[in-house]
Chain A
Amino acid sequence: MSLLLAVIIGMLFASALYMMMRRSFVKLTIGLILIGHSANLLIFTCAATRRDGSMERLPPGLIEEGQTRIEGDFADPLPFALILTAIVIAFAITAFTLVLVKRAYQEVGTDDLDNMRTTDR
């Protein structure tokens, strides 16, 4: 599984960056969403892969009623906590970017980034 995940993470990064390099502002937004997924999967895969490259389906880090700890193996909760934070932040960025694109298009009348570079000069 880790090999397959690695391959699709690579594909996701490639398509995300390809979209981010387009001059169309809308495509840039798509690229941003894709790169968010790539990063989340990357965190997950790096943490879940064992040293020998194997990956196992483990139960979530939940303590059962009446227990004070989990007995036996369970999935590392830390990467999931980080991913959870990352998902929410990626969502905030996406929402903001979408509205910005819509607004900028209304104001400027183009979504070609090459026509929007005057302020950075």
Chain B
Amino acid sequence: MILNFLKPKGNKKQKVILLGSGALSIGQAGEFDYSGSQAVKALQEENLEVIVVNPNIASVQTNKDIDKKVYLYPVTPFWVKKVIEKEKPVGIISSFGGQTALNCVIELYKSGVLQKYGVEVLGTSVDSLEMSENRDLFAAKMKEINVPIPASKAVSTVKEALKVAEEIGYPVITRSAFALGGLGSGLAENKEKLEQLASAALMSVPQILIEKSLYGWKEIEYEVMRDRQGNCITICNMENFDPMGIHTGDSIVVAPCQTIDNIENNMLRDTAIKIVHNIGVIGECNVQFALSPYTKEFYVIEINARLSRSSALASKATGYPIAYIAAKVVSGFNLLELKNPVTQTTSAFYEPSLDYVTLKVPRWDLTKFTGVSKLLGTQMKSVGEVMAIGRNFCEITQKAIRMVNENDEGITVGRFKDATKKELEYEIANPTNLRLFAIYEVFKRGYSIDKIADLSKISRWFLAHIKHLADTENELVELIKKSKAKSVYDAFKNLGKDYIRNLKKLGFSDYQLVKFFLSIKEPNKKHTQKDIKKLSLEIRKLRKKLNIVPVVKQIDTTSAEYPTGSNYLYLSYDGTHNDIILTKKNSGIITLGSGSYRIGSSCEFDWCSVMTSKYFKTKRADSIIINCNPETVSTDFSTSNRLYFEELSFERVLDIVDMEKPKGVIACMGGQNPNNLIPSLNEAKVKILGHSAKTVDMAEDRNKFSALLDKMGIDQPEWISATSRKEIDEFINRVGYPVLIRPSFVLSGTLMNVAGDEKSLDYFLSLTKDISDDYPVVISKFILDAKEVECDGVAKNGEVIISLVSEHVENAGIHSGDATLVFPPEKLYVKTVNTIKDIVRKIARGLNLNGPFNIQFIAKDNDVKVIECNSRASRSFPFISKVSGKNLAEISCKVMNNEKISKIMIDESEIPFVGMKASMFSYQRLDGADPVTGVEMGSTGEVGCLGKDFNQAMILSLEATQIKKPVKGILVSSGRERDKIKFMEVVENLYKLNVPVYATTGTANYLRSRGYNVHLVNWTEDPKAIDVIKDGKVDFVVNIHKTFDIAERKENAIIRKAAIKCGCSLLTNMEKVIAYLKSLDEYDKLQDIECINL
């Protein structure tokens, strides 16, 4: 039963605070919106008023709702205390907002705030949480209950090191606690190696840690749930494909475990339950083990007494809604009192049984970050993930590869086709994000499983499957070579029904097979994507004629032991029977989700997908979702009427369309990824709702769009698509530097760049493939010191229904995904806004927009130029919708549902507050990357905060993205002369902070000449700028680069990287610096917080 103090008092519902996790960042991403929104639902059902504190405005949990209040404030003790003072809740919940929420609650408890206001921590007690978090307390507890943890001990001499290693047993790893860049860390298999490592490390640091090495051991996790009664279940176990040594967030993970036996499983399960009992967890807990591949020896690595990325994955892998049940449990329910929501008849005290297998593959966007190390290790680097479901390991491996990167057709993509033996072996032993492809390549070349197991420590069961795929490819090559068939179609047909079915069972896509056939049959001919797509449609027809089609299966938590009406579905070729039979035709609306989160596409597109699905659910259409991202709310089975946890590939969407025969497909709400499918779906005669394929093509094709703007007399920055260096030079001679370079094919990581002079132009062009007709480079005039403005809106049949204008704090040149966005706009002339709205109307007509859109502009003085138009929902949709009170996603749905709708007039200036969207960066995790904002997007998440005015919104949003007011000192390099002049506007505010100011030469001289006291630091000579960072004399760094010169950029990068490494707040854009310093004036006024009900 629910705890007594949570029951309503008379008519009055009790309040509980649910803390969110804030902006998405590496290691703490969308999974917490999923957990949190399930929790909100579960708590509301129990008659509680939920107070959500979370600045992540693009999350579903911060949506307006009855019995819910939302505070878009930083999740820190300072602000949460204010919420407590204002709302007087009876309870607070820490376990649904990641580490951020957990730490916040522990601090509020330790400082006595919770006790003072009588706020109970629901779920696991703070004492228990501390035991799970504090290394020493945890170790002591494990010792007490006889659970092994890996031994480690600090030593300060080589002799001691050897003695400790003898006790622990080799191999050991050495770690030095204070060294930067992993100096002094290493693996010692024997005494000699340890002597070498320890003596080297102890020369630079006083102390090193000797730890038992578990490198290469199996890494296995259990998701455990325990109620107040002590009843305990393990919902799912998971096994890492990549053994110990790679962060589990960066590991490929299979669920359930595949290489352990029943005895090992129950040994670890028993231990997990024992730990959870003894720590006293109430709710969800994740337990991680290292298991020897040769014996039954194991160690517990860590536990997380909260919802986690793994629990979200386990929920999606099993169908068991862990967060929903955990929320009921923390509010007092016993598992026996709850029903399993999937079956609705059986008990929630249940451990799901699976009759399928799932694979999580992380998504890395490392190419977006110049200089970042691609090696995987104990620091997580991935920004998203996908999960593939199927009935054999080969099938899910290939599905997952396609899901995580839509341009990869499967494991045969040939990333290492031209690699040498040495390169391959190095990659396998020193893995990057591409290791799987290297393993595939060596198996194609005939390597043995044992050899690769030795190099990689990956369990041979996994390797055997990768090898099977490689063997299949090799066999297929021979068959095709021998085949006398003239066309791809015939060659395919000749393989025979059984053979084709077997290939499909192994996860080969039609596109993959056609591409493969062509590469063998016509190796010298070039085949465009379009050609291959066309041929794959022919193959599809043939397949269907042969009745080789996938079947649809339910995820029901019981492996069909009981009948179920589950709507959670996947497709597989490894089966003969459809679990569901669809009889109603033309009733469904399919919403395509966003796929893996990535730089540039994150939870904001999931928000749009969820809004869309829910809208159609209320319209009594069959609302259907296709998505493959386990972190999302859209893949919660209650979001839609049917959920296909599937690839967002052309082939798979067609498969589902064939089954569902829907009224229409919505591809414009999930970001660019589903939007890219529109042309092919349209050609395949699938009804697309919203913008027509023609509109999409015109908006996306640079030439067509540009011609349209010219025709309508709308200005745009000058640009060319150059196919030779000569053209580029001619263009630059005409328009002058700086220019923006956008190559169509990229060799290294650098994508877009701004060149300020010929030298940097040469450099950036050298990073791209030779410019040619096939690989043109788009060069456009880069306009300095201009404002960037966005307009989000919805149009119907070419007429704008609503349009809302917002502005960037930063001047043009910062990717719109990284820029700080203000809505309603603060500094735009009315005339500019009118001009923009006028242009928007013209473009809407010109493109015949029919659905959501986002148009970006550059404005200098009153001069407005169009940069681009996205004929789809944009990143800023949730932010603009919530601040304006006009739900752009819902309005878009009305248009797509062809409902009558009249124009919505809104006067932005009447909105009584200011919304600020700021970006969150994860550079702490991206060793080697230059943490500077620029034309290439680098942020991993965002927040949106509200204030009574610009300054308040600024303070909150920056604090929520971890830009903290300096307390130790500040280091400034202020860039160009004109930036320095601008900086003087706020210099008083800088000195009001009352902390030492350090500045590099130019800035220091500038400040001194105006009478300010400043410590001068140099780039290369003492006192060095980098030292004041490393020595902890500053905790805030302002670093503005002067020019687009590469050498200067590299110099500044050293400062910026050091700032991130040492945990300083870092700003690299002058407009943002000025806005921030100005806003600090208002800090004290912010003492009264307000819940602005959106």
Q: Do A and B come from one complex?
A: no
A interface residues, Cβ below 8 angstroms from B: none
Measuring CB to CB, which residues of chain B are less than 8 angstroms from any residue of chain A?
none
